[in-house]
Chain A
Amino acid sequence: MDQVTLFQNLVTGVSLGSAYALIAIGYTMVYGILRLINFAHGDIFMMAGYFTIFAVSSFGMPWYITILFVTVVTVILGVTIEKVAYRPLRESPRMSIMISAIGVSYLLVNSATYLFTGLPRAFPQLGFLQKVYHIGDVSAPIVTFITPVVTIVILFVLLYLVNFTKIGMAMRAVSKDFEAARLMGIEINKIISITFVIGCSLAAISAILYFSPRPMVFPFSGFMPGLKCFVAAVLGGIGNIPGAVIGGFIIGLAETFLVGIFPQLTGYSDAFTFVLLIVMLLFRPTGLLGEKIAEKV
């Protein structure tokens, strides 16, 4: 692999990885608090893509308002899903709430097919994001270079939020022990809603960053990113925010370099993600940064 290829793949991998990382944070936070694999998260991300299209092509919003609008609408969608589909099942067995999540995912895909038809929609150009930029022989749209920066900034903001604010403390308490947190006067429902607000706004931002250089949105476009980001969250250690980011980077880079190094294996790039997952689960089920959670009897 020559140097240009190496750097180009590095740019691609890091950028893809940081978009994954943002989605993975949403998974990991919800899992940390509810112990729920939010299977619908990838589809919420897909819906955010459609919201952007409507904001720009139907209402003609400028790009900065679009970002705000999409974030708000996505958050409303996510919080509604939590209220309607997850909250009533909170006391039921884990399996039924996961099944509900799968049901929501199924519903979102089918609704998107119905509302927006199966035809792919072009993702609009937002401001300067899609302008191609060259550094030496490496060339990519500007958004590719911005994505990692955004992700790192968000990571630090979140770390501050979780570790040094009252809400963060409440979140940590809820994730450690539901009952005890409630007894300490923490409003569980509020904290869970806040978690979904954060997760969904990240999904919205990530949708904008992800779809700008890959500008097609269709009902299934959230499916694979969703699964891969869950894998990323598990790789990093589920429930752990920096872990999710690291996991996202690993998946993004691994996928890109697999194709770069073994061109004959391109067809396996999705499967490779899952191989990574299974290997990780066998040797270190708690992920890279995860703590061991004692099983409650």
Chain B
Amino acid sequence: MKKISLLLILALLLTTFLVGCGGGGEEGDADNVIKIGVFEPLTGENGGGGQQEVDGIMYANSVKPTVMIDGVEYKVELIVSDNQSDKTMAVTAANYLIDQGVVAVIGSYGSGVSIAAGEVFADANVPAVGASCTNPQVTSANEWYFRVCFLDPFQGTVMANYAVQNGAKTAAVITQLGDDYSTGLGNFFMDAFKKLTGDDNSIVVNQTFQQNQADFNAILQNVRTANPDVIFAPSSITTAPLIIKQARALGITAKIMGGDTWENITIVENAGADAEGIVLSTFFDAGLADSSQIAKDFVEGFSAAYYTPVPAVSALGYDAYMVLLDAIERAGATDGDSIKAALNETDDVEGVTGSVTFDALGDAQKNMAVIKTVENGEFVFLQAVTVE
């Protein structure tokens, strides 16, 4: 028995090894193929959002499957690597892409994994274009990382502005411990809110919760006692419905607000009627699409090929792909330095979520955010906010 199982294991390991090597070797023989890495979480905490972003990138690839480099047409091959929403795994997943010979990378949903993998891309001189990673740390001090979305300090300000304009004097902030995105955005919101209200004590509750926590009653009871006008709880799509439902069950009527991760229909599905009236900021709204032909085409095409409503992260994935291909075409070469130089010169490339111009840090100069709410189980456009 032992011997047999031993042999079985060895055989299995050997076959995987051979198959694994074989799988790696098959591709890339054709001359006119360039590989672009898709660095996204498909499993783990952010698996859901990551998949939507991948769908956007895949759709972009189906729209524009080839790229002209120096007069030669190259086929773009996407290589997806799952970073499992985990920083340790992210570093190896990033290396896997480098090993596969990608010329550039798109991703990732979740700022933490992008920060962790940033150094790998920089070491290998492979430029990366982030789609929806909003934490400032992704691009600061990393000249190889770019992104097509706005940043958390901006997003925090937008939400604080919205809250104050709607008459909020006090706010409660709930953030996730050990999560760069949630903690960062929460803090930017607090700074902006204090400044706008001119009152240092306007944040009446500031609490943290732990990853995978499911019971928020104790925290929310503190919120209920303090009775704030708004609750700002940037969190993952796993946690958001729990906070929303339990807050409403406790009888809290304050407006509940979140960040861009909340624009995900699973939150509305999971929180049901309690999700009515939540407010969130996001990158893009299909209703605005009439103003631009690109956005209109994207919304129609994506809806036909995948699903509706179109998630904002899919739109950003699409934009990241297009911006990157534009840079590769302008670079006229496939080496890292040329593509990076071309990305730096990206100027007013029109995308679904607005035009993209990279600043010195590699951040898209975006000054427009969309604020949405939920009505009758659907995301409804509230207003577009522009901050200069």
Residues of chain A whose beta carbon lies under 8 Å from any beta carbon of chain B: 2, 4-5, 8-9, 12-13, 16, 113, 117-120, 122, 132, 134, 137, 139-141, 210, 213-216, 218, 220-221, 223-225, 255-260, 263, 266-267, 269-270
Nearest CB of A to B83, in Å: 12
- Contact with B238, one of A16, A141, A216 (Cβ below 8 angstroms): A216
Q: Is the CB of B212 within 8 A of A12?
A: no
Closest to A259 in B: B218
Q: How far is the CB of A96 from chain B (nearest CB, A)?
A: 14
Q: Count residues on chain B whose CB falls below 8 Å from chain A CBs.
A: 42
Contact pattern, B 145-172, Cβ under 8 Å of A = 1, otherwise 0: 0000000000000000000000000000
Minimum CB distance partner of A141 in chain B: B249
Task: From the candidates B214, B222, B248, name the one contacting A259 in the complex (CB within 8 A).
Answer: B222
Given contacts A215-B270, A266-B208, contact A118 B43 (CB under 8 A): yes
**Interface pair A117/B215, CB less than 8 Å apart:** no
- Chain A, residue nearest B41 (CB): A118
Residue of B nearest to A132 (CB): B249
Given contacts A2-B225, A216-B238, A216-B270, contact A266 B245 (CB under 8 A): no
Binding site for A on B (CB under 8 A): 41-48, 51, 85, 177, 205, 207-210, 212-215, 217-219, 221-222, 224-225, 237-239, 241-242, 245-246, 248-251, 266, 269-270, 272
Q: Are B222 and A214 in contact (CB under 8 A)?
A: no
Let me know if A214 and B215 touch, CB within 8 A: yes
Cβ–Cβ < 8 Å partners of A118 in chain B: 41-48, 85
Q: Which of A2, A16, A120, A137 contacts B215 (CB 8 A)?
A: A16
Chain B's closest residue to A210 (CB) is: B214
With a CB–CB cut-off of 8 A, which chain B residues contact A9? 217-218, 221
CA distance A71 to B270 in the complex (A): 24
- The one of B214, B219, B250, B269 in contact with A140, judged by C-beta atoms closer than 8 angstroms, is B250
Distance A218 CA – B218 CA, assembled complex (angstroms): 22
Q: Are A119 and B215 in contact (CB under 8 A)?
A: no
Contacts of A270 in B (CB 8 A): 210, 213
Given contacts A2-B225, A140-B250, A141-B249, contact A267 B214 (CB under 8 A): no
Q: Is B214 a contact of A221 with CB atoms below 8 Å?
A: yes
Indicate if the CB atoms of B209 and A266 lie closer than 8 Å. Answer: yes
What is the chain A residue whose CB lies nearest that of B269?
A122
For the complex, what is the distance from the CA of A193 to the CA of B158, rounded to whole Å?
59
CB neighbours (8 Å) of A258 from chain B are: 218
Q: Which residue of chain B has its CB nearest to the CB of A114?
A: B43
Q: Which of A137, A210, A263, A269 has the most CB of B within 10 A?
A: A263
Given contacts A117-B48, A122-B269, A216-B242, 6 further A-B contacts (CB under 8 A): A8-B250, A9-B218, A132-B251, A139-B250, A224-B212, A270-B213
Task: Chain B residues near A12: list those with CB within 8 A.
Answer: 215, 217-218, 221
When the two chains form their complex, are residues A220 and B212 in contact, meaning their CB atoms are under 8 A apart?
A: yes
Query: In the complex, are the beta carbons of A255 and B218 less than 8 A apart?
Result: yes
* Bound Cα distance from A263 to B224, whole angstroms: 13
Complex CA gap A20/B246 in Å reads 19
